[in-house]
Structure 1
Amino acid sequence: MERRPPRGHRMVPHTADVRIEAWAPDREGCVAEAVTALVDTFVDFTGAVSEATGEFHVPPGDDPDLLVGVLDEVIFRMETEGELPLSTEVRAADDGGLTVRWRTTGTDAVELVGAVPKAVSLHELRFGPDGDGWSGAVTLDV
């Protein structure tokens, strides 16, 4: 069996929606990979440049809730502000939540190549430590 790299993401087959998996050595890295996986399901960033930076805070909660909070924010900002993250940095916040920083570009600066996610499904949500660090799997409603 081929060994996976220490950090990464992929799409996996799913009947009607889109399912992503992400992994990294730590929780925050896994959340950042999940953001990249989400955006990679429907965007081609070729030629896109960073237009702005952004930061937000996810309040404390269970680890799966933190992941969903970050992914929901990506979808919300795409729909309301027309922006998408080109790169994502996630740090643990002092209160137990997460601080997320993005370099972003406008939705008009990228090519849509897949179905745009409308929401994060809680069905079969998985996020937590595993033998090699952290991993998660999320179904995106499209």
Structure 2
Amino acid sequence: MTGYIKFLRDYVGHQPIQMVGAGVFVENERGELLLGLRIDNHCWGTAGGAVELGETVEEGAKREMFEETGLIAEELELLGVFSGEDTHYTYPNGDEVYVIDVKFVCRKFHGTLKPQESEVSELRFFPIAELPENISPMEIISVNKYLQMRKNFRS
């Protein structure tokens, strides 16, 4: 949990909050998608998390990508902004959020894959046709948009 969100949670407990999130669809040279197996809900998802106070969304996306995967983004391309009821989520600990989720695609990166032990138990590049079924509920809409973008891009 980030400093700002922890600060808010100290005041509101599990009550719903609105949070700005930033996430990254990391794609390797073979066109495979990097997903991490989340420790909290045991679902697969992209690297991402809450944007800190004073941080740009791009900075937050790059920071989260590095923290969760060990990879350093060289370029980010905006995929989309996701919000509203579709991004409402209750974490396993009871914290409730409505996320304004800004998602990017990163195809240029460097570094060594290393999962953030406190949040991710496994990192794996998946061929697009073999994505796991247990995608994190908060990410289903952005994953579908990513897949549609890939389909349009490849056609």
TM-score in same-fold range (> 0.5) = no
Q: Flag the structure with higher strand content.
A: 1
TM class, shorter-length? 0.3 to 0.5
Q: Flag the structure with higher helix content.
A: 2
For normalisation by structure 2, the TM-score amounts to: 0.32
For normalisation by structure 1, the TM-score amounts to: 0.34
